[in-house]
Structure 1
Amino acid sequence: MELKNIFPDFNAMWIRWSAYEISDALNGRYIMPSTDATSLPYSSTENLQELLTDALNLGKAVYQKSDEVERECRAFVQKHGLLGLHKSDGSRVFPMKGGNISPARKEHSSQEYGEELSHFTAEFQKLYLHFLATRGELPEQLPKHLQSDLAMLTTQSIPSGLSYRLTAGFPPQMVWQPDDLIDVLRLAYGLAVTDTAAPLKVCKNCGTVYYNPHQKSEFCSVKCRNYFNVKVFREKR
């Protein structure tokens, strides 16, 4: 089933900003909106397939220790916003030493909210590790810290802020109201990776993760298919 058809009443408004930066603040390195950025509210479910594949490809870059990780992090948040990893509703804001408050403890919708880069990238790597496991591509000797990350998806209950309400009309409907983007992403991944149509593919040419429910699909684009065929033809000659 197509992701966009699963929850037609998915009310998942989220905040992204017009510009982001990665900088040192207080006790860590954070990714957060730039000081001159403007807020751009949008529905985080308007393109679940792109959200999902962007997340997996970022996870791949983190796992492979790419030199482009920070650039790809900025590209992701520019399109989708931060994940909402820290649910700070005001009652759990703890000042740090000196009276300062970590960006991760600020309200999600505020311009001062930020996520520590190591925590941010770890979420994508977890999804990608699980994706590799479903394909039988995990190395036999996986480092212990990565084993622990993978176990968080496979052996523990995944926390979720996927609340919903019921309409009073006829017929009544369930209107889903997720608290943050990470819940939407985890749900989209869970539904896609357990879909019998196996819509998550890896391009045979460039290795990019892409979404296509067609069973015979092997390439993320016509360009990659043509490039691969030319390469095979030249090798044969």
Structure 2
Amino acid sequence: MKDFFENSRSNWVRYISYDFKEKDGVLYITPSENAMPDLYNIMKCREKIIVDALNTGLLCMKQNINEEEKKKGVMEFVSHYGLLGLMTTITSTPAFMDYEVVHFIKNRFVKAETMDTLEYIAKFYPFEMPQITKNGLAMRWDISGDKTMMALAMTFSDRETAVNMSFQRNYAEPYEWVKMQLVDWALLFTTAHIFYEDDLSETDKTLYRQMMTVFDGNSPTYHIALCDDKPVLVWKFGSLAIAVQMLFSLSITDDKKPIRVCKHCAKAFIPSRPNAVFCSSKCKNQYNVYKSRAKGNS
């Protein structure tokens, strides 16, 4: 995985701070008012973003953790990496703005097969709808007044309009949707771990195989940029969620550095050595102390 992405880049946007805001009984995560955007290269933190996404999802799966702790964990992930870009994750194409209606891939958030384009966009702009003029297939997005947002839109002018819009300060995602996506990744990770680590019946194995087949979604595109010193693969992800999904897929199938579960704390980690079973020396020491005490009491 390291070699595959060593000469790659893919820029994404996160804001300096985010807030929880509620409207019509729905809790959203959205950039804080006047928060400044920050561009970063997903590929520079590809291993950490996978681990953090999975561990946040594992946290949200726990029954003994209260909702405030789960909200804190989800907000911490978003603060580090930005919102997931769910607006373009579940559509059949990130260029859905070019059509009168949006077509969806199978997903857990929108049950309808199609939806009016402007109605769909409004789900992610609950507090202030962008200035969009749409007449059939003709669409115009007017952005003015905020020079930072205008500059951000110009920076990503080569991207699909919907992807560009998901970087704007007024964009928001339902907290429950973000949490659900993180939990789904954690469930798939847990499924793979149980499949190979536990003694399962053939019936159970068949069930777990079927669970993994639903791990599907939009595929990213890329192009080769001829930089000063060497060619670079530039990935165009329709959303951060699609980036994490692809990186997770490659990591879980990596022979040299497959993502694992720590033997002590049960958190996800990517081992530095092929035979590593602990995420840190601290977990290794604590596990050995626990085993030693257990042996002494037996």
TM range, smaller chain: 0.7 to 0.9
Letter aligned with residue 4 of structure 2: I
Alignment gaps of 5+ in structure 2: 89-93, 103-116, 131-164, 201-206
More moved, 25-34 vs 77-86: 25-34
**Is 1:202 matched up with 2:261?**
yes
Letter aligned with residue 215 of structure 1: P
Q: Distance in 1 between matches of 2:177 and 2:41?
A: 24
Of 14, 29, 32, the residue aligned with 1:31 is 29
Runs of 4+ in 1 over 4 A off after TM superposition: 103-106, 167-174
Q: Deviations over 1:60-108 (max 9, x none)?
A: 1222243211000111011111111103879375258x9x943698621
TM normalised by structure 2 equals 0.65
Work out whether residues 57 and 183 of structure 2, in 8 Å CA contact, stay in contact via their aligned partners in 1. yes
More moved, 223-232 vs 129-138: 129-138
Q: Distance in 2 between matches of 1:58 and 1:30?
A: 18
Q: Distance in 2 between matches of 1:39 and 1:167?
A: 25
**Is 1:154 matched up with 2:213?**
yes
Q: Distance in 1 between matches of 2:259 and 2:239?
A: 23
**Is 1:94 matched up with 2:118?**
yes
Q: Distance in 1 between matches of 2:271 and 2:187?
A: 20
Q: Which residue of 2 aligns with 1:76?
A: 77
1:114 Cα deviation after fit: 1.1
Q: Please tell me the root mean square deviation across aligned C-alpha atoms, in Å.
A: 3.2
Work out whether residues 9 and 44 of structure 2, in 8 Å CA contact, stay in contact via their aligned partners in 1. no
Work out whether residues 104 and 114 of structure 1, in 8 Å CA contact, stay in contact via their aligned partners in 2. no
Name the structure where helix makes up a greater proportion of residues.
2
Change (3 A) 1:229 1:104: farther
1:177 Cα deviation after fit: 2.2
**Is 1:116 matched up with 2:177?**
no
Work out whether residues 84 and 240 of structure 2, in 8 Å CA contact, stay in contact via their aligned partners in 1. yes
Letter aligned with residue 81 of structure 1: G
Percentage of matched positions with identical amino acids: 24
1:25 Cα deviation after fit: 2.5
Q: Distance in 2 between matches of 1:200 and 1:19?
A: 29
Q: Deviations over 1:25-54 (max 9, x none)?
A: 246211111114221111112111110000
Q: Distance in 2 between matches of 1:222 and 1:183?
A: 32
Larger Rg: 2
Of 168, 177, 190, the residue aligned with 2:236 is 177
More moved, 25-34 vs 199-208: 25-34
Please give the secondary structure, in 1, of the residue aligned with 2:27: strand
Q: Distance in 2 between matches of 1:84 and 1:115?
A: 8
Q: Which residue of 2 aligns with 1:128?
A: 186
Please give the secondary structure, in 1, of the residue aligned with 2:255: coil
More moved, 67-76 vs 190-199: 190-199
1:171 Cα deviation after fit: 8.7
Work out whether residues 224 and 231 of structure 2, in 8 Å CA contact, stay in contact via their aligned partners in 1. yes
Q: Distance in 1 between matches of 2:250 and 2:128?
A: 29
Please give the secondary structure, in 1, of the residue aligned with 2:222: strand
Q: Deviations over 1:196-223 (max 9, x none)?
A: 2352121122111111152321211111
1:236 Cα deviation after fit: 2.2
Change (3 A) 1:177 1:105: farther
Aligned length in residues? 222
1:128 Cα deviation after fit: 1.1
TM normalised by structure 1 equals 0.80
Q: Which residue of 2 aligns with 1:45?
A: 43
Q: Matches of residues 5-16 of structure 1 in structure 2 within 5 Å?
A: 5-16=3-14
1:180 Cα deviation after fit: 2.1
Letter aligned with residue 217 of structure 2: I
Q: Which residue of 2 aligns with 1:21?
A: 19
